[in-house]
Amino acid sequence: MAKRVMKPCDVFLNHRSMDTKKTVSSLLYDHLTRFGFNPFLDNKTMKPGDKLFDKINGAILECKVGVAIFSPRYCESKFCLHELALLMECRKKVIPIFCDVKPSQLRVVDAGKLSGHELRRFRWALEEAKYTVGLTFDSSKGNLSDIVTNASDIIISSMIEIENEEQMMMHPQNLPIAL
């Protein structure tokens, strides 16, 4: 049997399933896929038998861009916060999308279930994301198509920028010489 070679994940979509999976997350996944990218969205990328943390952590490690789709209940999810923290710790470019929530409203929810280390790690990652320029979307006023198109354009532009930087690093002879 021939072994399938999986294309590495280039965009990781970090989101709270119950809030955005049927709207922004899925539409963004479909939009990026049509442009030839390989985004990671758990329900579309993972299959039965996959180890949850292995697959998600692996996708984060190999991606070039992370998209953090913040929603009103995002911070209640330890999974969301872990993914965000790993994206930040790996120094990935993270593009925040604030859906029906303002950055100032985002706070780590601790019901006594998080260790001190996790609490510090999650708070740090959330602060980093809150102070990163992102997109905002108010579902009562905005057009879903517009936010998906705008986000896709920014992601594609970021991917091109990162790939150009990687090419320059691989071929330093192409760097301009300072006089």
Catalytic residues: 83
d(CA 50, CA 28): 23
Pick the closest to residue 35 from 136, 149, 145, 147 (CA basis). Answer: 149
Tokens of 101: 């929530």
Q: Which residue type occupies 54?
A: D
Count how many residues are written for the chain.
179
Q: What is the largest CA-CA distance in the chain?
A: 59
What are φ and ψ of residue 125, in 5° steps?
Answer: -60, -40
